[in-house]
């Protein structure tokens, strides 16, 4: 017996019919019919208008957009290519917002730093970012992409787990590990005093550490004058367990950075605060080295900063703009590390204009002790500042006062950059790691990587082949030594047994 619903058995093919409304002139339609017809479009090549399927359940569409982690550019493309996504969705909190704009707002709301903001503060941030929630989402994503959960410092390191737990190891002479004592640790140890506190970001300096929680609080330990890493000589009071910074109670901090002579924090609104080293107004204010109060860095009132990176005596800031990112710098300009084409100091943040003339769109920055590096959206890498030991990768040790593209990496699409005192590391899209700068530092740093290419003072060279060759030679020598050892043992045993046989007296019958 054939089931009437069995299309396979009946020989008919399952066809989904699209039922369109009859074509009726708008002039003779009722207001309700007119509204419905205006929300219709021609579908599937049919000349008659049909209802746009996604328009039936816009709330479901909004849920899908909010759950797929689409980027700001993807949401903007939806608005630009489809009338349905570009029109007002009539949803709270703003009935005039489109579905992509609402999806961006929902994704911002998922972030703790945004969720805890007052409505007027959220609106203020929106206007600072260009008047769109998609821009606010882009601003937040820039900081998240530039963040790191493994931070290596001059003598100790910090690891942040996905749950917000913190592990520390290394030198601990000033209590910079936060473990309650000053004993060094040679393997990661969890900081138990932070139990119940979710840490999202960390900064490591010389004998000091700063941690940022998901509630915007800052914890510090190590030298008491942690804001001045090396400026003040003499005895330092030790803080061996994390202590909340009371001076920042009114600021919701999302990132901290420690330089050689100062420290800086970034608020969720994109404002930068600095501690100490106000001598000669190099950080936009005049104060003595013992000043522990955070000072708002002026000159960036209308520019939301998404990420900061501190060098020994200067600060780089990656600012968000709707048409692309930009880089500002402030502090000591010796060696040209501020990137303005000169070697003078700047007490006020100044835009690094060289990137615009190069059509270079920075997406990430790293401030080394004396030099800086920037990563472009197209994978290019720029360096500038002191060129000691070839850390700029340009084949010499000359200083560069403006950002200059590393030509040795022209065939490499970089995705991450990092700096040390006299070293620079670049991670390529295919996972290869390139390095250039101090040979002593590289000799220590290359061990964790399986594939490393290095740009030395004389130019680019492939170090992996040399390492593989040396390893092969060592292995062959080890095998040869082992073989000779066994041969020696065999011959020695044979010689001993022969001597014993010769010593045994032979008796005649």
- 444 three-state secondary structure: helix
Are 226 and 211 in contact by the 8 Å Cβ rule? The answer is no
Mean pLDDT of 277-306: 72
**Phi/psi zone of residue 170: left (φ > 0), alpha (ψ -120 to 50 degrees), beta?**
left
- Looking at residues 457-476, what average pLDDT do you find? 57
**CA proximity to 383, closest of 363, 412, 407:** 407
Alpha-carbon Rg for the chain in angstroms:
32
Tokens of 379: 């994978």
Q: What is the 8-class DSSP label of residue 463?
A: H
Please determine, for residue 137, whether its predicted confidence score (pLDDT) is greater than 60.
yes
User: Residues 270, 271, 272, CA angle at the centre, nearest 5°?
Assistant: 125
- pLDDT (average), residues 226-248: 67
Task: Identify the band that residue 233 occupies on the pLDDT scale cut at 50, 70 and 90.
Answer: very low
pLDDT at 478: 76
Q: Name the residue among 205, 100, 228 with its Cα closest to residue 156.
A: 205
41, 48 Cβ separation under 8 angstroms: no
pLDDT, position 206 = 86
The answer to whether the CB of 114 falls within 8 A of the CB of 332 is no
> Contact 73/102 with Cβ under 8 angstroms?
no
Residue whose entry in the numeric block shows the structure tokens 């000053």: 182
Identify the pLDDT of residue 485.
Answer: 74
Higher pLDDT, 322 or 105: 105
Q: What is the distance between the alpha carbons of residues 343 and 337, in angstroms, rounded to a whole number? A: 8
SS3 breakdown of the chain: % helix, strand, coil, rounded to 5? 30, 30, 45
Which two tokens mark 129? 């970012």
* Confidence (pLDDT) at 414: 95
- The whole-number average pLDDT for the span 66-88 is 87
Per the listing, tokens 């970012």 go with: 129
In whole angstroms, give the CA distance from residue 15 to residue 138. Answer: 43
| pLDDT, tens only, 249-279 | 889 999 999 988 888 999 999 999 988 755 5
pTM attached to this predicted model = 0.73
Q: Cα–Cα distance between 368 and 356 in angstroms, integer?
A: 22
Any idea what DSSP says for residue 56? G
* Cβ within 8 Å of residue 268, ≥6 positions away: 113, 114, 117, 125, 216, 252, 253, 254
Given this model, what pLDDT does residue 30 score?
A: 58
Token pair 């821009």 is found at: 135
Task: List the chain domain ranges.
Answer: 37-143, 144-463
Q: How much is the pLDDT for 21?
A: 41
340/357 Cα distance (integer angstroms): 13
Q: For 380-417, write each residue's pLDDT tens digit.
A: 999 999 998 899 999 899 999 999 999 999 999 999 99
Beta strands 452-456 and 433-437: pairing type? parallel
Token code pair at residue 273: 């605060």
Q: Which of 401, 397, 379, 395 is nearest to 387 (CA)?
A: 397
Residue 380 half-sphere exposure toward CB, CA atoms < 13 A: 16
Q: What confidence category does residue 441 fall into, taking pLDDT thresholds of 50, 70 and 90?
A: very low
Q: Is 298 exposed, middle or buried (0-12, 13-18, 19+ CB in 10 A)?
A: middle
Per-residue pLDDT at 377 exceeds 80: yes
pLDDT higher than 60, residue 452: no
CA dihedral 433, 436, 441, 445 (to 10 degrees): 0
User: What's the rounded Cα separation, in Å, for the pair 220 and 202?
Assistant: 10
| pLDDT over threshold 60, residue 228 | no
Is a pLDDT exceeding 90 seen at residue 83? no
Answer whether CATH 2.60.40.10 is correct for domain 144-463. no
Residue 416 has a pLDDT of: 94
> Three-state DSSP class for 498?
helix
Cα–Cα distances (Å) from 23 to 39, 256, 347, in that order, read 13, 63, 69
Tell me the two tokens of residue 456: 């030395």
Max mean pLDDT among 81-95, 207-221, 236-250 falls in 207-221
Q: What integer is the mean pLDDT of 352-377?
A: 94
Residue matched to tokens 């890493």 = 229
Check pLDDT > 80 for residue 374: yes
Cis peptide before 428 (omega within 30 of 0): no
Mean predicted confidence (pLDDT) in 135-143:
90
Mean pLDDT of the chain: 79
In this prediction, residue 324 carries a pLDDT of 85
Best CA proximity match to 256, nearest among 111, 131, 342, 158: 158
What are the beta bridge partners of residue 221? 209
Mean pLDDT, range 27-31, rounded to an integer: 52
């Amino acid at each position: 017996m054939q089931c009437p619903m069995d299309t396979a058995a009946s020989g008919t093919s399952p066809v989904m019919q699209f039922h369109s409304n009859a074509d009726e002139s708008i002039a003779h339609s009722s207001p309700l019919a007119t509204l419905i017809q205006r929300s219709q479009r021609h579908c599937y090549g049919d000349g008659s208008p049909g209802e746009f399927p996604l328009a039936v359940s816009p709330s479901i569409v909004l849920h899908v957009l909010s759950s797929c982690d689409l980027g700001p550019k993807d949401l903007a493309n939806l608005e630009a290519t489809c009338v349905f996504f570009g029109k007002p969705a009539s949803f709270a909190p703003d009935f005039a917002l489109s579905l992509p704009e609402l999806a961006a707002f929902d994704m911002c709301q998922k972030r703790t730093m945004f969720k805890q903001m007052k409505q007027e503060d959220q609106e203020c941030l929106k206007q600072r970012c260009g008047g769109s929630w998609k821009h606010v989402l882009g601003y937040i994503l820039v900081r998240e992409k530039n963040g790191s959960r493994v931070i290596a410092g001059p003598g100790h390191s910090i690891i942040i787990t996905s749950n917000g737990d913190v592990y520390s190891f290394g030198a601990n002479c000033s209590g910079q590990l936060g473990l309650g004592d000053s004993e060094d640790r040679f393997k990661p140890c969890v900081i138990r005093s932070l139990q119940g506190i979710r840490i999202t970001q960390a900064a490591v300096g010389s004998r000091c550490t700063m941690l940022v929680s998901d509630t915007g609080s800052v914890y510090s330990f190590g030298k008491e004058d942690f804001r001045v890493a090396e400026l003040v000589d003499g005895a330092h009071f030790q803080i061996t367990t994390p202590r909340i910074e009371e001076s920042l109670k009114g600021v919701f901090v999302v990132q901290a950075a420690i330089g050689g002579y100062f420290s800086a924090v970034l608020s969720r609104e994109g404002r930068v605060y600095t501690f100490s080293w106000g001598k000669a107004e190099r950080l936009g204010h005049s104060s003595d080295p013992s000043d522990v109060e955070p000072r708002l860095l002026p000159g960036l009132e209308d520019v939301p900063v998404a990420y900061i990176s501190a060098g020994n005596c200067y600060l780089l800031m990656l600012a968000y703009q709707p048409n692309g990112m930009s880089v500002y710098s402030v502090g000591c300009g010796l060696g040209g590390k501020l990137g303005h084409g000169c070697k003078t100091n700047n007490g006020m943040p100044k835009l690094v204009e060289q990137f615009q003339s190069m059509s270079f769109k920075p997406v990430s920055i790293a401030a080394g002790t004396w030099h800086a590096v920037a990563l472009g959206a197209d994978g290019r890498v720029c360096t500038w500042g002191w060129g000691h030991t070839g850390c700029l990768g340009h084949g010499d040790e000359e200083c560069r006062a403006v950002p200059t593209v590393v030509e040795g990496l022209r065939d490499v699409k970089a995705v991450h950059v990092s700096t040390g005192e006299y070293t620079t590391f670049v991670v390529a899209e295919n996972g290869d790691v390139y390095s250039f700068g101090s040979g002593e530092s590289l000799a220590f740093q290359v061990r964790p990587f399986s594939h490393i290419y290095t740009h030395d003072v004389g130019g680019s060279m492939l170090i992996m082949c040399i390492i593989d060759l040396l390893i092969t030679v060592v292995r062959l020598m080890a095998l040869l030594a082992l073989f000779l050892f066994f041969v020696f043992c065999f011959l020695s045993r044979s010689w001993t047994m022969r001597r014993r046989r010769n010593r045994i007296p032979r008796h005649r019958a």
